[in-house]
Amino acid sequence: MAAGEAEVARAPRDARAHVRLGRLYLDAGRGREALRAFQKAVSLDKDLADAYNGIGLYYMNVKKDWKAASRYFNMALDKDWAHKEAQLNLALMHVQMGNYDAREAAERVLKIDPNHAPAYLMLGRWHEQREEYGKALEYYRKYVELQPDDVKVGHEVALNLLKLRRYEEAEAFVATSLHTFHRYGVLAQVFTRRGDYERALQAFELYIEGLDERERALYRDLSLVASPAEVWAYQGTPEAKRPAFLRRFWLRHDPTLVTGGARRQAEHYRRVWHARAYFGEKKFPWDRRGEVYIRYGEPDYRSTSREINLEAPPAVRRVQERIAYELYRDRAVGVTFTGPIFPVQIDRSVEMEVRQAEEGTESPDPEILTTTPVGIAGQDTLGLSRWRPMVMGMDPGRIPWEVWVYTGIEDGIEVVFTDQNLSGVFDYAPTPTPGAEDFRRLRGPGELSNMLATFNRYAPGVVVQRAASTTPEHYNVAREAEPIQFSYDVADFRGPEGTTRAEVYAAIPLGQLSPASTRDTALVVERIVALADSAFDRVYRSRDQIVYRGEAEAGAVLMDQADLPVPPGQYTLAVQVQQKGTKRMQVYRRPLSVEAYPPGSLRLSDLQVARQVAPAQPGETRFVKQGWKVSPAPGRSFYEGQAAFLYFEVYNLRQDEQGHTRFEVSYSVSGRQTRPLVVRALSGLGRLLGTEGAGEVTFRHERAGSEGMDADYVELDLRESGAGEYVVRVTVRDLLSGAGAQKETTFRVVPGR
Residues 460 and 354 in one domain: yes
Domain-embedded: residue 259 = no
Domain-embedded: residue 290 = no
Query: Quick one: how far is CA 442 from the chain centroid?
Result: 42
* Rounded-to-integer distance, Cα 607 and Cα 590, Å: 19
Q: Write the CATH number for 653.
A: 2.60.40.3880
Angle at 606 between CA 604 and CA 612, to 5 degrees: 115
Classify residue 240 by burial, with Cβ atoms within 10 Å: 0-12, 13-18, 19+. exposed
Residues 562 and 671 in one domain: no
Domain-embedded: residue 659 = yes
Phi, psi for residue 654 in degrees, rounded to 5: -75, 140
Going by C-alpha positions, the residue among 556, 552, 573, 553 that lies closest to residue 564 is 573
Structure confidence at residue 271 (pLDDT): 96
Reported as a single tens digit per residue, the pLDDT across 106-163 is 787 787 778 878 788 888 878 877 778 788 888 888 888 888 878 778 887 888 788 8
Helix or strand holding residue 144 (H, E): helix 133-146
Residues 441 and 565 in one domain: no
Peptide bond into 285 cis (omega under 30): yes
Handedness of CA 335, 339, 343, 349 (dihedral sign): negative
Residue numbers of the domain that contains 605: 599-753
* Rounded-to-integer distance, Cα 665 and Cα 649, Å: 11
Residues 326 and 456 in one domain: yes
Residues 587 and 688 in one domain: no
* Rounded-to-integer distance, Cα 499 and Cα 27, Å: 71
Domain-embedded: residue 16 = yes
Structure confidence at residue 362 (pLDDT): 44
Q: Annotate 415-441 with DSSP letters as a single string.
A: EEEE-TTSSS--EEPPPP---HHHHHH
Q: DSSP secondary-structure letter at 677?
A: P
Structure confidence at residue 478 (pLDDT): 76
Predicted TM-score (pTM) of the model is 0.73
* Rounded-to-integer distance, Cα 270 and Cα 218, Å: 12
Return all residues near 627 (Cβ < 8 A) that are at least 6 apart: 615, 616, 711
Q: Write the CATH number for 518.
A: 2.60.40.150
| Pair type for strands 628-632 and 608-615 | antiparallel
Residues 628 and 723 in one domain: yes
Reported as a single tens digit per residue, the pLDDT across 181-217 is 888 999 998 998 888 899 999 999 999 999 999 999 9
Residues 605 and 737 in one domain: yes
Residues 542 and 665 in one domain: no
Going by C-alpha positions, the residue among 264, 277, 266 that lies closest to residue 163 is 277
**Could you give the number of structural domains in the chain?**
4
**Of 580, 595, 610, the domain-final residue:** 595
* Rounded-to-integer distance, Cα 59 and Cα 302, Å: 38
Domain-embedded: residue 688 = yes
Going by C-alpha positions, the residue among 398, 369, 397, 392 that lies closest to residue 379 is 392
**Of 571, 595, 619, the domain-final residue:** 595
Name residue 258's beta-bridge partners.
Answer: none
Structure confidence at residue 678 (pLDDT): 63
Structure confidence at residue 118 (pLDDT): 78
Reported as a single tens digit per residue, the pLDDT across 427-461 is 999 999 888 777 777 766 677 788 889 999 999 99
Phi, psi for residue 695 in degrees, rounded to 5: -75, -20
Reported as a single tens digit per residue, the pLDDT across 685-743 is 444 444 544 567 888 888 899 999 999 999 888 777 778 899 999 999 999 999 999 99
Contacts 24+ apart (CB under 8 A), 200-204: 200/262, 200/266, 200/269, 200/270, 201/262, 201/265, 201/266, 201/269, 204/266, 204/269, 204/270, 204/273
* Rounded-to-integer distance, Cα 734 and Cα 638, Å: 32
Reported as a single tens digit per residue, the pLDDT across 263-313 is 999 999 999 999 998 899 889 999 999 999 999 999 999 999 988 998 899
Residues 538 and 616 in one domain: no
* Rounded-to-integer distance, Cα 475 and Cα 473, Å: 7
Distances (CA, A) of 36 to 32, 67, 187: 6, 20, 49
Averaged pLDDT score across all residues of the chain: 86
Structure confidence at residue 138 (pLDDT): 84
Domain-embedded: residue 439 = yes
Domain-embedded: residue 10 = yes
Residues 498 and 640 in one domain: no
Residues 447 and 513 in one domain: no
Reported as a single tens digit per residue, the pLDDT across 317-335 is 999 999 999 999 888 888 8
Edge-to-edge strand list for the sheet holding 413-418? 301-304, 401-406, 413-418, 427-428
* Rounded-to-integer distance, Cα 5 and Cα 3, Å: 5
Q: Name the band, by pLDDT with cuts 50, 70 and 90, for residue 494.
A: very high
Reported as a single tens digit per residue, the pLDDT across 552-601 is 676 789 999 999 999 999 999 999 999 988 888 999 999 999 999 999 99
Measured torsion, CA atoms of residues 471, 472, 475, 476, in degrees rounded to the nearest 10: 20
**Of 595, 621, 654, the domain-final residue:** 595
Domain-embedded: residue 211 = no
Q: Write the CATH number for 30.
A: 1.25.40.10
Residues 631 and 731 in one domain: yes
* Rounded-to-integer distance, Cα 75 and Cα 53, Å: 8
